Chains A and B, each alone.
Chain A
Amino acid sequence: MDLLLLLLPIAAPLLAALGYALAGWRRPTAHLGTAAAAVILGGAIALAVRVTRDAPLDALGGWLHADALSAFLLLVVGAVATLACAASPGYLAAEHAHGGGSGRRYGVLVQFFLAAMCLGALAGNLGVAWIAIEATTIVTAFLVGFGHTRAAVEAAWKYTVVCSVGIALALLGIVVLYDAARHAGLSEATALNPRVLTAHAGALDPAVTRMATAFMILGFGAKAGLAPLHAWLPDAHSQAPAPVSALMSGVLLAVAFVQILRVKQIADAALGPAFARTLLLITGLATLAVAALLLLAQRDYKRMLAYSSMEHMGLIAVAAAIGTRLALAALLLHIAGHGLAKTVAFTASGHLLRAEHTTRIDQVRALAIRRPALGGVLAAAILALLGLPPFSLFASELGIARAGFAAHLGVPVTAAFLLALLAFAALARHTAGMLLGDEDPGASGGATQPVAAARLGPAAWGPLVTGLVTVAALGVTAWPVTTLLGLAAQGGR
């Protein structure tokens, strides 16, 4: 039963991938992926219930493991995946109209991507988690390069190289940690198990563990979009198909970041909290600074959303550095809120790109008048990303700030929020320009082309509205997941 519960979220997308491979992308199979994603969500809910009621689950001799943290992460994966997969048929239909890439390949790769992320969330072993995360790089490389344009190939290349190198450094860290664990007397099978490692942290050699922690934070940080190995993120997010951008930004970054949390747990137990805290503060603040500065001068709205992801990941890293219970609960809530809001924002930007044929901010003007509905959804999603109430990101940012001051980390937290404020201003200015700005008189020649190129049906609006409502609801009350959040934050302690 436990095994089934743990295997279900991984197996469902694999089966869906098989389905796409055999049947191709047709009208009846179009929502196969959505079904698989819904199964992930259902499985995640079942797991969450099991974990809150009883103890964490183990299967396959500890290779798979579900505690409150992984159950929560899986919930986010399931929710975002359901929204993104539901938006995929609309996206692909438009691509087909323009003679774009193959639906079969898209379906197979997205489902593999989901399976790899679920494996990453449920891995009970750092080695398995590593394999899962590297697998996401491999399957998404072709999704990033889906467009077959020069820019898409360039983005795919950078993405694969930077992420593979980053994750290779994480592997080096894992190898070094394994060495330390073996010398601490752990057996081959348990030496990469984070729980066992945390329990035996006292026996780990401090100098070696420090080295391993640094490598792993740097390496998994690359995949989580943290500086200094962040260069792939804006390119990949801006070139990938909109639903894939949503998945990457919404959950892939989070899945990678949760590995950092697990590493931090081990490091804290072995070295005391100061070491990992310093590393995370440095990388988090650096990420925030890079994101805020590049947001200011941004001219492309998909890249703008990508840098906003970096900004949020930086904030999350700072929250992880604080590391108190409150901070971790806020961090997890932030991951969920950011994932959902970003999914809506990217999906809406995909619709916008199709309607306006440009990703330039200064060529998209007066959306509030010309496309009130789409403009409204995009605006709402960006308001959520800005961290305004009633959306949940307001609550989580507030929580991070409070936790930071409570932990006497006032200076770095203030710096982080000042940078976030800068990003806020940039994001708000660009979005306001898109929504309300006057149409550029010079570009009026381009506006002669038919404006209402694409009519969006209810199938397209559904995911957008559901996502926004969920983020807002989470902001009002985190009731359904309160217990889970508390447990997960405790586990992260």
Chain B
Amino acid sequence: MSNRAELLDLAAGLFLLCAVAILWRRDVRAQTAWLSGQGIALAAIAAILGAQDARPDLYGVAAGVALLRAALLPTLVRRAIAARAEDRESAPLINVGASLLAAVALVLLAYTVAQPLVRLEDTPAARALPVGLSVVLIGLLILVTRRKALSQIVGFLLLDNGITAVAFLAAAGVPLLVEFGVSFDLLLAVLVLRVLTARMRNLFGGSDLDEMRELRD
């Protein structure tokens, strides 16, 4: 096994580890720190692939990914945290222990689902693909089970990091234009969600989504 493959596996492992840590922690502030770490791991994946395929454009992509996902987006979320103690996930829909066990099942599911993709091309990168898919599923889990607005943003970012990782690992990234558009849309979506969180605080006095009870059938 070559050195680069080792590094790639390591970066993928760290990427997954950060997702687990985000699921584990209740404090949104700590979650954003791990989110930054995950962004760096993602950038590392892109850079390693760039070195492997001798594609200098991927270095640029890696720098962009690092800027956006390790610095900009986590900072945006962190800024949205008011200086109040309310931004701890106090009562998730299912408790953290159970969601960690659920994550175990999701990871196994991801490995099963990703088998056709791995079979398509047996490279170290393709073998690391289930990691990206696992992170997608863990992000979905956070989105579904956490009741704080900011936790949901974190879950959404996790989901998106996972998809980006799949894109890198599967085919060294989608076309650059699409990549750029996706990143831009993601940034805007997070901005929109941030504004909505602020409005929610004004109107509901908190960002607990259980407060949202006006619209239902």
Chain A 167-200 near chain B by CB (<8 Å), digits 1 or 0 = 0100110111011101100001101100000000
Interface: B82 (CB within 8 A): no
Q: Choose one: B121, B177, B193, B204; the contact of A127 (CB below 8 Å).
A: B177
Q: Does A168 contact B214, Cβ atoms closer than 8 Å? A: no
Binding stretch for chain B, among A158-166, A340-348, A375-383, A426-434: A158-166
Cross-chain contact of A156 among B116, B143, B196 (Cβ < 8 A) = B196
Contact between B175 and A164, CB atoms less than 8 A apart: no
Number of A-B contacts (CB under 8 A): 131
- Which one of A154, A171, A211 contacts B116 once the chains associate, using CB atoms below 8 Å? A211
The distance in angstroms between the C-alpha atoms of A486 and B53, with both chains bound, is 47
Given contacts A157-B212, A164-B156, A179-B120, contact A134 B189 (CB under 8 A): yes
Q: Measured between alpha carbons, how far is A7 from B62 in the docked complex, in Å?
A: 32
- A208 to B189, Cβ gap below 8 A? no
Chain A residue nearest to B117 in the complex (CB): A208
Whether the Cβ atoms of B217 and A234 lie closer than 8 Å is: yes
CA distance A183 to B117 in the complex (A): 11
**In the assembled complex, A95 has its CB within 8 A of some CB on chain B:** no
Q: Does the CB pair A131–B185 fall under 8 Å?
A: yes
Closest chain-A Cβ to B139's Cβ sits at a distance in Å of 9
Contact of A294 among B174, B192, B195, B217 (CB under 8 A): B217
**Alpha-carbon distance A187/B105, docked complex (angstroms):** 37
In-complex Cβ contact of B166 among A157, A176, A235 (8 A): A176
A207, B119: Cβ atoms closer than 8 Å: yes
Q: Mark B139-180, 1 if CB is under 8 A from A, else 0.
A: 010010000010010001001100100110011001101100
> Which of A145, A168, A298 has the most B CB atoms < 10 Å from its CB?
A168
List of B residues within 8 angstroms of A182 by Cβ: 171
Confirm or deny: B181 has a beta carbon within 8 angstroms of a beta carbon on chain A: yes
Asked if B203 lies at the interface with its beta carbon under 8 angstroms from chain A, I say yes
A142 at the interface (CB under 8 A from B): yes
Complex CA–CA separation, A183 to B170 (angstroms): 10
Whether the pair A161, B156 counts as a contact (CB closer than 8 A) is yes
Main secondary structure of the interface of B (DSSP, over half): helix
Q: Contact check, B178 vs A128: say whether CB atoms are below 8 A apart.
A: yes
A161 lies within 8 A of B193 (CB): yes
Are B166 and A175 neighbours in the complex by a CB distance under 8 Å?
Answer: yes
Give the residues in chain B near A176, CB-CB below 8 Å.
117, 166, 170
Bound Cα distance A210, B175 (Å): 22
Task: Give Cα A183–Cα B121 distance, bound, in whole angstroms.
Answer: 8
Contact A160 B196 (CB under 8 A): yes
Smallest distance from the beta carbon of B207 to chain A beta carbons, Å?
A: 10
Q: Are B196 and A145 in contact (CB under 8 A)?
A: yes
With A127-B174, A128-B181, A165-B143 known as contacts, the answer to whether A297 contacts B217 (CB < 8 A) is yes
Are A208's CB and B116's CB within 8 A?
yes
A contacts with B, residue count (CB < 8 A):
55
Q: Counting CB contacts under 8 A, is A148 at the interface?
A: yes
Q: B214 touching A178 by the CB < 8 A rule?
A: no
| Structural contact, A153 and B143, CB atoms closer than 8 A | no
Q: A131-B178, A151-B215 are in contact. Are A205 and B192 (CB under 8 A)?
A: no
How far does the alpha carbon of A153 sit from the alpha carbon of B209 in the complex, in Å?
11
Choose among A63, A141, A154, A183 the residue that contacts B215 (Cβ–Cβ < 8 A): A154
Task: With both chains docked as a complex, state the minimum distance between the C-beta of B185 and any C-beta of chain A, in angstroms.
Answer: 4
Q: Is the CB of B203 within 8 A of A160?
A: no
From B172, which residue of chain A is reached at the shortest CB distance?
A: A182
Q: What A residues does B70 contact at CB under 8 A?
A: none
Q: A127-B177, A138-B188 are in contact. Are A205 and B215 (CB under 8 A)?
A: no
- On whether the beta carbons of A175 and B167 are closer than 8 Å, the reply is yes
Query: Does A180 lie within 8 Å of B120, measured CB to CB?
Result: yes
For residue B159, give the distance in angstroms from its CB to the closest CB of chain A. 5
Task: Determine whether B199 belongs to the interface, using a CB cutoff of 8 Å to chain A.
Answer: yes
A174 near B189: Cβ-Cβ < 8 Å? no
A80 at the interface (CB under 8 A from B): no
Q: In angstroms, how far is the closest chain A Cβ from the Cβ of B53?
A: 12
Q: Which of B22-45 contact A (CB under 8 A)?
A: none
Are B214 and A150 touching (Cβ within 8 A)?
yes
A171 to B173, CA, bound (A): 12
What mask results when residues 87 to 118 of chain B are scored 1 for a CB within 8 Å of chain A, else 0? 00000000000000000000000000100110
Residues of the B chain whose Cβ atoms lie less than 8 Å from the Cβ of A192: 174-175, 178
> A150 contacts which chain B residues (CB < 8 A)?
203-204, 214
Show 26 A/B contacts (Cβ-Cβ < 8 Å), sorted by A: A127-B181, A127-B182, A128-B178, A130-B178, A138-B185, A142-B192, A150-B204, A151-B215, A153-B204, A154-B214, A157-B193, A157-B196, A168-B156, A171-B182, A172-B166, A174-B174, A175-B174, A179-B120, A179-B170, A192-B174, A207-B119, A208-B117, A210-B116, A211-B117, A234-B217, A297-B217
| Additional A-B contact list (10), CB under 8 Å, known A148-B203, A157-B212 | A127-B178, A130-B182, A137-B189, A153-B203, A157-B193, A164-B156, A175-B167, A178-B170, A182-B171, A234-B215
The 8 A-B residue pairs with the shortest CB-CB distance in the complex, in nearest-first order:
A127-B178, A207-B116, A179-B170, A131-B181, A154-B212, A151-B214, A134-B185, A175-B167
